[in-house]
Amino acid sequence: MLDAFKSNDRPLRVQRVRYYRVPRYPAHTDPDPTLAPEAVPYPWKGSVMAAVLALSEAGCSKSETEASSADAPSSKKPLPALEAKVQKQIDEIVDAALREQPEGKTNPFAQKLGLSGLPYVSSPYGTGAPTPLSAEIARALIARIFKAEGLVSAPTTFAEKDFTGSVDGFDKEKRIGFVIGDWDSLDETAFGSWMSQELLRFASGDSPQVPPDEEAQLRDYMDRSAKWLFERTQLSEDQKAELTAATKLESVQEKAKAYVALLQKVEDAKISMAEIELAEKQADAHRRYLAIISIYDQRFQITEYDPEARDRFEALNLEAEKIKFESADEKAQWYRRQHDMLWTEMSRQRLMELARSVREYIAWARRSGIQ
């Protein structure tokens, strides 16, 4: 009888479980853990992602290759990758813009609107100058929108009779592209520097004669201006040699002429104001739509004189008055943080405005006749 009750020989039986420790993993009555407290993306296998990317690149790469082979590739230096958080912000803004439906009734970048800020002439005084649109961010944002709209945005250089210059993104098949108007892409007539005006004045001999004891100072001033002008430009080896030669010239007028000559060569490769206006006028006839987006476009820059910015900064000041700061340093830090947050928020709003405008432009170009 004892044998029958050895543990392994006891007969099997139905037995209620009185107490069972509740498992820790969520039950069907608990919140979905793939969604809360934060979303857990599906862990696609690497081999699957690679296959999908290969499929999508195969679909895109053909038209990109065609676009870049017909026209010369852009002579611009490739930009370094944007910071991850900036790229993330761009993605969020573009995704939000893609959810809206543009009307496409007008060209939001038409010069006649008077919003582009062109022609732009820099001031020798920096106080109160607006914060321009970041060209780098704008290029990345617009390229993303182009891609989402099924358009290629290959950098392309045009060397035509009525249009010479580098375009930041162009779809050769659909005949639509964009240019970020800045010091690198637009010439003096569209983006003027007070320094180059001075050089022109000296080169032409219109300036009053400089006393001999002031010539050295003037030469130094010209060299520094030229350095500022040309350091932002990609010069060929020959052009770099020309620049070096110009810095060694002693005569003020000769130096000015050399710098102006070099400037004209460099500027010839850029897009002029006349070319911008003509291209806009001939867009329908030539079936080529190029949006020129200046970094000083009023809609996309932030200035402290902007009414909205002014109100927000004023509100910030009023809020600061209610806070008891323990030290001046703490107050300064607080202001800095608030300022940065406000600037980031307003930048975001401006970038959102840019994204909407680009979509509006694409919709308008489509209504005008591109595929």
> CB of 53: closest distance to other proteins in angstroms?
12
Site residues for other proteins per CB under 8 A: 7-20, 23-29, 32-34, 40-45, 47-48, 51-52, 55
Nearer to other proteins, 31 or 128 (CB): 31
The token duo for 176 is 């639509």
> CB of 153: closest distance to other proteins in angstroms?
25
> CB of 28: closest distance to other proteins in angstroms?
4
> CB of 3: closest distance to other proteins in angstroms?
13
Nearer to other proteins, 62 or 105 (CB): 62
In angstroms, the CA 298 to CA 13 distance is: 83
Nearer to other proteins, 29 or 209 (CB): 29
In angstroms, the CA 170 to CA 15 distance is: 76
Nearer to other proteins, 16 or 85 (CB): 16
In angstroms, the CA 36 to CA 38 distance is: 4
In angstroms, the CA 121 to CA 194 distance is: 7
Nearer to other proteins, 10 or 112 (CB): 10
> CB of 25: closest distance to other proteins in angstroms?
4
Contacts from 344-353 at CB under 8 Å and sequence distance 24+? Answer: 346/302, 346/308, 346/309, 346/312, 347/302, 348/89, 348/93, 350/133, 350/299, 350/300, 350/301, 350/302, 351/89, 351/90, 351/93, 351/137, 351/141, 351/300, 352/93, 352/96, 352/97, 353/299, 353/300
> CB of 38: closest distance to other proteins in angstroms?
10
Residue from 234, 233, 269 nearest 157 by CA: 269
Nearer to other proteins, 26 or 205 (CB): 26
